[in-house]
């Protein structure tokens, strides 16, 4: 089984548009939406939930008011001001301020505070018209999205093996931080979707640096290439210099927005020039992946 992750660095370059189109075109595959902080692939693929499970991403303190003798030691020690006190309710923990360091549990003389697993979100296996998809929802303000990305990928791989699929397509998160690292380590290929803007180019170079660091082959696609032909030429030169295959240049076209509004991938919505470029691009990616 091969694994392809589609990333962009900068958000809003059209990464999910390309992923949704590939999801439609690829036949024997499983999809994984690794953009767990702000998942959006489901907006196009309208998944029907088959199973759901909690994501336990870490541990947090629980205060047992019955055992607490109101000595105030936990509040004195907490460097995050996460322990609150009122005469009426005594001491309590503000989970939004808490950093889960565990010091209060260690220091409490009455063992009134214990560290317990915390549920930080949910992950799902769903059916879509483009095949099965693993996706997740991180709780509001919750941390550990890198861990959740790893879980989504693991579950995607398990499902692909179970169903004898030849490919796992991951819609990666934006940025270059921990969730992106979690979405690309060990994959067979990364496709970087960029755009000819300064921030798009800057972030393409950063994510490409990340791929090189992990020794992962990368391909590039320029979305809305005709937005700035001067910058597009710079991206072409960058790809040449670094021997990266430039697999597609997608023109700026309102059909992309219209397809999104219709909740369809661009290749489902239209068979015009954007659709043709994306189809040709998919053929090149298939060839590079050797599937």
Give the residues lining the site for ligand SF4 (CB under 6 A).
61, 63, 68-74, 78, 80, 82-83, 91, 93, 98-104, 108, 110, 112-113
By C-beta, is 79 or 230 nearer to ligand SF4? 79
Residue tagged 């694994």 (tokens): 3
Give least dist CB 64 to ligand SF4, A.
8
Question: Of the two residues 97 and 262, which places its CB atom closer to ligand SF4 in the complex?
Answer: 97
CB of 104 to ligand SF4, least distance (A): 3
Q: How far is the CB of 52 from ligand SF4 (least distance, A)?
A: 29
Opening angle at CA 239, ends 189 and 12, nearest 5: 70
Give the residue with the Cβ less far from ligand SF4, 38 or 97: 97
Contact between 91 and 85 under an 8 Å Cβ cutoff? The reply is: yes
In the complex, minimum distance from the CB of residue 111 to ligand SF4, in angstroms, rounded to a whole number: 8
CB 111 within 8 A of CB 67: yes
Measured from the CB of residue 182, what is the shortest distance to ligand SF4 in angstroms? 24
Q: 39 phi and psi, to 5 degrees?
A: -60, 140
Cβ-proximal residues to 100 (8 Å cutoff; 6+ apart), any chain: 58, 59, 60, 61, 115, 118
Secondary structure (DSSP) of 93-117: E-TTT-----HHHHH-TT--EEEEE
Nearer to ligand SF4, 80 or 238 (CB): 80
């Amino acid at each position: 089984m091969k694994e392809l992750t589609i990333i962009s660095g900068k958000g809003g370059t059209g990464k999910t548009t390309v992923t949704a189109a590939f999801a439609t075109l690829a036949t024997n595959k499983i999809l994984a939406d690794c953009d767990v902080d702000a998942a959006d692939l489901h907006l196009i693929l309208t998944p029907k939930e088959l199973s759901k499970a909690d994501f336990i991403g870490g541990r947090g303190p629980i205060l047992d008011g019955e055992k607490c003798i109101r000595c105030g030691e936990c509040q004195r020690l907490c460097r995050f001001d996460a322990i609150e006190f009122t005469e009426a309710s005594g001491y309590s923990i503000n989970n939004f301020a808490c950093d889960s360091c565990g010091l209060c549990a260690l220091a409490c003389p009455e063992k009134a505070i214990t560290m317990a697993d915390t549920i930080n979100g949910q992950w799902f296996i769903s059916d879509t018209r483009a095949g099965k998809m693993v996706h997740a929802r991180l709780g509001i303000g919750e941390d550990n999205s890198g861990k959740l990305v790893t879980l989504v990928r693991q579950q995607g791989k398990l499902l692909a093996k179970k169903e004898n699929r030849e490919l796992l397509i991951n819609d990666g998160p934006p940025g270059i931080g921990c969730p992106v690292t979690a979405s690309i380590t060990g994959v067979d290929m990364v496709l970087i979707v960029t755009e000819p803007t300064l921030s798009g180019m800057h972030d393409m170079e950063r994510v490409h640096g990340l791929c090189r660091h992990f020794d992962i082959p990368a391909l590039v696609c320029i979305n809305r290439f005709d937005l700035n032909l001067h910058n597009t030429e710079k991206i072409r030169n960058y790809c040449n210099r670094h021997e990266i295959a430039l697999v597609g240049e997608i023109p700026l076209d309102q059909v992309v927005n219209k397809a999104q509004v219709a909740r369809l991938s661009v290749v489902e919505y239209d068979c015009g020039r954007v659709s043709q470029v994306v189809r040709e691009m998919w053929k090149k990616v298939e060839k590079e992946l050797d599937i």
